[in-house]
Structure 1
Amino acid sequence: MTGVGRWLTEAVPRGRVAAFRTLVYLFVAADLVIFTPWVRTRADVPGELYQPLLVGRLLPLPTPTPLLVHTIFWVLLALALLAATGRAPRALGWPVFLLYLEWMIIAMSYGKVDHDRFGLLVALAVLPTAGAARHGDRTRTEAGGWALRVTQIAVVCTYFLAAWAKLRFGGLEWMTGSVLARAILRRGTDLADLIAGVPYLLIVAQFGIMAFELGSPVVFLLRERWRHLTIGFFYSFHLVTMATITISFAPHLVAMTSFLPLERVRPLHWLRQTLAAPPAPTPSGPTERPAPRPPVQADDGDQDQVVPGRPVVP
């Protein structure tokens, strides 16, 4: 196997695959009810307004109807929750991927396309190939390593291709323009208003965003410790983005956990330990001494009464 092949299939602990799989499928369920419930409103939109993406035209996929949209929602929600258990990774994983892909095509075929779901879609496409995996399992798997590596590549491509699109459509003027200023006017927070008041800071930020996105592939060249620190910087970038212009990139952030040692996160193991832990000791305080035992007395018959401190006279 070539060096690239070994890099693509670098073995990882099965517990990491299991944790990543659970996180991804739980997010799909949450996405349906928290982040993209508005997709269900597409069921009531006239069919002539549906302009499918290229993949929707090539397959071709049907025009959304109330029956189609609501069926996808409920079936996908149930299958995603089942897939999060880790059972039947192929039998459940492939339907989840296909249904979520159709859900996203419906969502993005009415004029607006979000690029923060590319990494998540790739993760859903490759997770069924990772095979069985249990939480906490330290044995290593190349199939699981390939699934995580392909997801990592998709995450980095999201950054790099975003920079390419900025340069392609906006040119070098994108970095000196008013992109962030317009974003703050549209959806900025109080923190963003404070930042916007600093002269030239938004221009500096635009140069920084371009450098960050173009340099994102460097993460693959770093040693593990520095790679984790770099991923932490990626997360902090999105934290600032959320705090200033309220864009969360939640699907992308879930896909980016493919870089992290998730096998160390064992919630079920911690729960079992907590339930099996001995009860906490009672608070310490003054203890009561036992009451003194009454003196032993002789029978009222032939023996005299026993008096404490005095010998018994026969």
Structure 2
Amino acid sequence: MKQFAFAFLSVLVLAMFSCKKDYENIVSFDTQSIQNYISANNLTMSQGDSGIYYQIIKPGTTGNSLTDTDQIFYAFTVKTLDGKFVSTDTVLNRVSNYVGVTSTTLPYGLQFGIKKYLQKRNGVIRLIIPSKQAYGVNGYKSSDAVINIPGNESLDYTVYLYNVKNQLAYDTIQIRNYIKKNNLTGFAKSPSGLYYKIVDPGSGVDAVYSTSTVTITYTKRLLLSGTVIESKSLDAAALSTYISGWQEGLQYLNSGGKIRLLIPSGLAYGSAAASTTPDTRNYNVPPNSIMDFDVNVTAVTN
């Protein structure tokens, strides 16, 4: 029995020593690779906690220092230190989250660095996050394989923390950026935050009212990615049964009219993931999604 206990203790000590050695090796590897990167690129960075390096490009200037219960909205660029993965689309790379809630898809070190070093809204910070505080030994690969970050890879982020405190204000920034990025013209903004462009007001005599029954065809896109997730025709149904952005936007038309709608998330599917397929488990609309619709009203009944 004593021999068994000794053997078990020996294995336990060896395992603990191996884990400690692996941890120290990862930390040392991260530190060396980051320092080499900083030197090679002539960067001026300050060393923070947990191996994070940071540079305040624009100090946060608005409000009190961030707390865990504050909701923050930011965009970012990111690249691996080896330069093999680069993502600079700040329209697509956007986040809304509470400071104290750890994201399931973004590195812990990212939100930690924003709170610790930027501290206030309306600022810009550069963060070099060691792999230990990023995606660790396993790395990260998105379901569509667009994002593929290998294990033990440190990351270079530039973060733009917006001076907004609610989802609509943030969605509005994103819609404006989208319009500018894609050189779109002719859009008007309603008091609710809906952006719309009347392509054809319709030649029919029947105007669309909140109480109307409408027959439509449409194409639905996720605004930030431009991904078409649905294109179909719908049988006659009460306008009041559709999302708020449609209820408002389609009232600018007569029968036969066409309109393009850029709909903030609060007028679309809100903060919950949504499905547009018969299989309601297929959540192809992520939470807080801004939607881009082309809608054609083919018939109206009043």
Instruction: Tell me, yes or no, whether TM beats 0.5.
Output: no
Q: Which has the higher contact order (CA 8 A, sep 6+)?
A: 1
Larger radius of gyration: 1
Q: Which is helix-richer, 1 or 2? A: 1
Q: TM-score, normalised by structure 1?
A: 0.26
- Say which structure is richer in strand: 2
